[in-house]
Structure 1
Amino acid sequence: MLGLFVAYLDRTTLSVALPGVAEDLGFAGERFSMTAGWALTAFLIGYAVANFFGGMLTRNIDAKKVVIWTFAIWSAATVYVGFTHSLVALLACRLILGLAEGVYWPQQSRFAKAWFAPGERTKANAVVQYYGQFGAMALGFILLTPLYNMAGWRVMFVVMGAIGLVGIVPLFIAALRPESEAPYAPASTSGPRHSKPLTFASLGGYPFLLLLFSYVMQGMLFWGVTLWIPLAVKSVGFSGMSQAVASSLPYLMAVVLAWPISRISDRTGKRVLIASLGLLIPGVLMMLLPTVDSGYAKLALITLALGYYASSYSPNIWSILQSTIEPESIGSASGIINGIGAGGGGTLAGLLVGALYRNTGSYMPGFVTLGALVILGGVALLAYGRLMNTRRAAPTGESTTRNVRV
Structure 2
Amino acid sequence: MIFCSIIKIKCTTDLRIRNNAMTTQHEGIGRRWLFFIPVASIMYMLAFLDRTNLSFILPYIGQDLHLTNSTKGMASGIFFLGYLLLQVPAALMAERWSAKKTIFILMILWGLAAIWTGLVQSTTELMAARFVLGVFEGGVQPATLVLLIKWFPQREKARANGFWLLCIPISAILAAPLTGFLLEHFSWRTVLILEGFPPIIWAVVWYIMVADTPEKAWWMKPAERQYIVTQLALDEEKKQSTTGQDSARYRDVFRNPKVLTLIFAWFLYCAGFYGFTMWLPQVIANISQATPGIVGVLTAIPYLIGLVGMAVIAVRTDKHGLNKTSAALPLTIAAIALLIGQFFPSAVIQFIFLCIVAAGLYIHGAFFALPPLILRTDILALSLGLIGGIGNLGGFVGPYVVGWLIDLTGTPLAGFAIMAAALFVCGLALASVTPKASASDKPEVNVSGAVEAE
- Alignment TM class, shorter chain as reference: 0.7 to 0.9
For residues 324-339 of structure 1, what are the structure 2 equivalents within 5 Å?
324-339=374-389
1:145-164 equivalent positions in 2, closer than 5 A: 145-164=180-199
SS across alignment from 2:96:
coil
| SS of match in other structure, 2:189 | helix
Match of 1:143 among 172, 178, 184: 178
Q: Which residue in the other structure is 2:48 paired with? A: 8
| 1:19 aligns with one of 39, 54, 59 | 59
Match of residue 299, structure 2, among 247, 253, 261: 247
Conservation of the 8 A alpha-carbon contact between 2:113 and 2:129: yes
1:150-205: CA deviations, max 9, x gaps? 1111111111111122x211111211112373655789xxxxxxxx542435x893
Q: With structure 1 as the length reference, what TM-score do the two structures score?
A: 0.85
- 1:42 is the counterpart of 2:75: no
In structure 2, the CA distance between the partners of 1:51 and 1:296, relative to structure 1 (3 Å rule), is farther
The amino acid of 2:319's aligned partner reads R
Q: Is the 8 A contact 2:55 2:279 kept in 1?
A: yes
Distance in 1, Cα, partners of 2:168 & 2:132: 20
- 1:238 shift after superposition: 4.3
CA distance in 2, matches of 1:68, 1:204: 33
Number of equivalenced pairs: 374
In structure 2, the partner of 1:396 is none
Matched residue type, 2:128: A
Q: Could you tell me which residue of structure 1 aligns to residue 236 of structure 2?
A: none
1:7-156 matches, cutoff 5 A: 7-24=47-64, 26-28=65-67, 32-56=68-92, 58-128=94-164, 130-156=165-191
Write the deviation string for residues 194-236 of structure 1: whole angstroms up to 9, x where unpaired.
xx542435x8931232222222221111111111111111122
Give 1:404 shift. 6.5
8 Å contact from structure 1 (residues 222, 306) kept in 2: no
1:79 partner SS: helix
Shift of 1:66: 0.7
**Contact 1:52-1:337 within 8 A present in 2 as well:** no
Residues 287, 371 of structure 1: 8 Å contact kept: yes
CA distance in 1, matches of 2:181, 2:404: 29
Matched, 1:367 2:416: yes
The TM-score with structure 2 as length reference comes to 0.77
CA–CA distance in 1 between the matches of 2:144 and 2:310?
17
Distance 2:59 2:320 in 1: 47
Percent identity between matched residues is 22
Unpaired runs of 5+ residues, structure 1, are 188-195, 393-401
The equivalent residue for 2:271 is: 220
Aligned to 1:314: 364
Structure 2 residues not aligned, in runs of 5+: 1-40, 217-224, 234-247, 442-454
**Contact 1:63-1:179 within 8 A present in 2 as well:** no
Which of the pair has more CA radius of gyration? 2
Give the residue type in structure 2 aligned to 1:178. D
**How far apart are residue 114 of structure 1 and its match?**
0.8
**Any idea what SS the aligned residue of 2:271 has?**
helix
Q: Secondary structure at the match of 1:177?
A: coil
Matched letter for residue 290 of structure 1? Q
Amino acid at match of 2:387: I
8 Å contact kept, 2:113–2:133: yes
Q: Which structure 2 residues correspond to residues 169-184 of structure 1 after superposition, within 5 A? A: 169-179=203-213, 181=215, 183=225
How far, CA to CA, are the matches of 2:162 and 2:255 in structure 1? Answer: 23
AA of the residue aligned to 2:208: A
CA contact (8 A) 2:113 2:132 kept: yes
1-structure distance, mates of 2:214, 2:160: 19
1:41 and 1:286 mapped to 2: Cα distance? 20
The change in CA–CA distance for 1:340 and 1:249 in structure 2 (over 3 A counts) is: farther
Q: Could you say what the CA RMSD is over the residues aligned between the two structures, in angstroms?
A: 2.3
1:89 shift after superposition: 2.3
Is the deviation greater in 42-51 or in 60-69? 42-51
**Paired position in structure 1 for 2:326:** 274
Cα distance between partner residues in 2 of 1:267 and 1:340: 31
Answer yes or no: is the 8 Å Cα contact 1:134–1:255 preserved in 2: yes
Distance 1:215 1:239 in 2: 34
Report which stretch shifted further, 375-384 or 353-362.
375-384
- Whole-Å separation in 2 of the counterparts to 1:273 and 1:199: 31
The one-letter code matched in structure 2 to 1:200 is: D
Distance, in Å, in 2 between the alignment partners of 1:181 and 1:290 is 52
AA matched with 2:288 = G
State the Cα deviation string for residues 257-298 of structure 1 (Å, max 9, x = none). 222332221111044321111222211111212331111111
**Which is further off, 293-302 or 324-333?**
324-333
Contact 1:126 1:259 (C-alpha < 8 Å) held by counterparts: yes
